Amino acid sequence: MSLSPSLFSVGLTFQCPQCNFTVIKNGSWFQVVSHYKCEGCGREIRITYPDKIAIFQKHAYLATPPRGPLRRSPRPSSERGPAARSAAG
Protein backbone atom coordinates (compact mmCIF):
# COMPACT_ATOMS: atom_id res chain seq x y z
CA MET A 1 0.00 0.00 0.00
CA SER A 2 1.17 3.52 -0.72
CA LEU A 3 0.40 6.70 1.19
CA SER A 4 -3.05 7.40 -0.22
CA PRO A 5 -3.60 11.04 -1.28
CA SER A 6 -7.24 10.66 -0.21
CA LEU A 7 -6.00 10.70 3.41
CA PHE A 8 -3.78 13.78 3.07
CA SER A 9 -6.47 16.11 4.43
CA VAL A 10 -7.78 13.65 7.04
CA GLY A 11 -6.71 13.71 10.69
CA LEU A 12 -4.69 10.56 11.41
CA THR A 13 -3.51 9.38 14.83
CA PHE A 14 -0.15 8.06 15.97
CA GLN A 15 0.89 7.01 19.47
CA CYS A 16 4.34 7.75 20.81
CA PRO A 17 6.11 4.41 21.24
CA GLN A 18 7.70 5.72 24.46
CA CYS A 19 4.76 7.21 26.40
CA ASN A 20 1.65 6.43 24.26
CA PHE A 21 0.81 10.14 23.88
CA THR A 22 -1.46 10.44 20.84
CA VAL A 23 -0.74 12.97 18.13
CA ILE A 24 -3.38 13.81 15.52
CA LYS A 25 -2.14 15.32 12.27
CA ASN A 26 -3.30 15.42 8.66
CA GLY A 27 -2.03 12.65 6.43
CA SER A 28 0.00 15.20 4.48
CA TRP A 29 2.02 15.89 7.65
CA PHE A 30 2.80 12.19 8.06
CA GLN A 31 3.78 12.03 4.39
CA VAL A 32 6.65 14.51 4.83
CA VAL A 33 7.74 14.19 8.47
CA SER A 34 10.64 11.92 9.47
CA HIS A 35 10.71 12.80 13.17
CA TYR A 36 8.96 15.01 15.70
CA LYS A 37 9.22 15.97 19.36
CA CYS A 38 6.57 14.20 21.43
CA GLU A 39 4.43 16.61 23.45
CA GLY A 40 3.93 13.92 26.09
CA CYS A 41 7.47 12.86 26.96
CA GLY A 42 9.59 15.42 25.08
CA ARG A 43 11.59 12.76 23.24
CA GLU A 44 12.51 12.94 19.57
CA ILE A 45 10.39 10.28 17.84
CA ARG A 46 11.36 8.89 14.47
CA ILE A 47 8.62 7.94 11.98
CA THR A 48 9.89 5.53 9.35
CA TYR A 49 8.25 4.73 6.03
CA PRO A 50 6.95 1.38 7.41
CA ASP A 51 5.43 3.38 10.31
CA LYS A 52 3.75 5.66 7.79
CA ILE A 53 2.38 2.70 5.83
CA ALA A 54 0.93 1.28 9.07
CA ILE A 55 -0.66 4.64 9.96
CA PHE A 56 -2.27 4.97 6.53
CA GLN A 57 -3.47 1.33 6.58
CA LYS A 58 -5.00 1.83 10.03
CA HIS A 59 -6.99 4.79 8.69
CA ALA A 60 -7.79 3.42 5.21
CA TYR A 61 -11.50 3.23 6.08
CA LEU A 62 -11.52 7.05 6.20
CA ALA A 63 -10.34 7.39 2.60
CA THR A 64 -12.77 8.90 0.15
CA PRO A 65 -13.27 6.75 -2.91
CA PRO A 66 -11.62 8.12 -6.04
CA ARG A 67 -13.95 10.15 -8.21
CA GLY A 68 -14.83 8.48 -11.44
CA PRO A 69 -17.28 9.29 -14.18
CA LEU A 70 -20.76 9.96 -12.89
CA ARG A 71 -23.20 7.18 -13.56
CA ARG A 72 -26.76 8.21 -13.94
CA SER A 73 -29.50 5.77 -13.28
CA PRO A 74 -32.33 5.87 -15.80
CA ARG A 75 -35.19 8.07 -14.74
CA PRO A 76 -38.63 6.48 -14.43
CA SER A 77 -40.79 7.06 -17.51
CA SER A 78 -43.02 9.40 -15.50
CA GLU A 79 -40.07 11.83 -15.22
CA ARG A 80 -38.97 11.68 -18.88
CA GLY A 81 -41.62 13.97 -20.32
CA PRO A 82 -44.62 13.44 -22.62
CA ALA A 83 -42.66 12.25 -25.69
CA ALA A 84 -41.00 9.45 -23.75
CA ARG A 85 -44.28 8.39 -22.19
CA SER A 86 -46.09 8.18 -25.52
CA ALA A 87 -43.21 6.25 -27.11
CA ALA A 88 -43.13 3.81 -24.20
CA GLY A 89 -46.63 3.04 -24.16
| Domain chopping of the chain, boundaries | 5-62
User: Of the candidates 67, 1, 56, 65, which has an alpha carbon nearest to the alpha carbon of residue 27?
Assistant: 56
56-77 tens-digit pLDDT: 999 988 887 666 665 565 655 5
**Is the predicted pLDDT of residue 83 greater than 80, yes or no?**
no
Rounded Cα gap, residues 21 and 14, in angstroms: 8
Question: Parallel, antiparallel, or unpaired for β 11-15 and 35-37?
Answer: unpaired
Q: What is the mean pLDDT of the chain?
A: 83
Instruction: Print the SS3 string covering the chain.
Output: CCCCHHHCCCEEEEECCCCCCEEEEEHHHHHHCCEEECCCCCCEEECCHHHHHHHHHHCHHHCCCCCCCCCCCCCCHHHCCHHHHHHHC
Rounded Cα gap, residues 52 and 49, in angstroms: 5
> Given this model, what pLDDT does residue 64 score?
74
